Amino acid sequence: MSEYFVYLMASRAFTLYVGVTNDLERRVCEHKHKLTPGFTSKYNIDRLVYFEETSDVWAAIEREKQIKAWARHKKLDLITSFNPNWRDLSQDWSVK
C-alpha cells in the first residue's frame, strides 16, 4: 500500500511551504539541499515542522489544497498543536 504525505516546511523566519509527496524523506532532502529552484530555495525553507500521512492520494491532494487555503494563523496553530517547539522533525533522520 502506498503512502502519501501532506507536509509543512518553514524557514528560520517562519516563511511556510505546504506540499504533498509520496516520499517524505526524499522530498525534504530536496528542499534542504535546494535541489529544485523555486519558492523553498529562494526563501531558505529547510525545516520540516508538520506532516500527515494517508494511503489515499486524492485525500492527500485535497488536504494540501485545504491547508494552502487557510489563513496564516490557522497554519501556525496547526503546526504548534503538532510540534509546539517547531523542531525540525527530520533532524534525526539518517538521510540528510
Which tens digits make up the pLDDT trace of 7-37?
Answer: 999 999 999 999 999 999 999 999 999 998 8
Q: What is the pLDDT of residues 60-72, one digit of tens each?
A: 999 999 999 999 9
End-to-end Cα separation, the chain, in angstroms: 25
pLDDT at 96 over 60: no
Average pLDDT, the chain: 94
Q: Which pTM does this prediction carry?
A: 0.93
Q: What is the pLDDT of residue 95?
A: 56
DSSP, res 90: T
Query: What b/e readout covers 8-18, taking b as 16+ CB neighbours within 10 angstroms?
Result: bbbeeeeebbb
| CATH number given to 4-82 | 3.40.1440.10
- Strand spans (E) along the chain: 4-10, 16-21, 47-54
Nearest CA to 67 among 19, 23, 22, 24? Answer: 19
CA distances to 6, 15, 53, 79, 88 from 60, in Å: 6, 22, 8, 17, 21
Q: What is the pLDDT of residue 42?
A: 94
Facing residues of 6 across strands? 20, 52
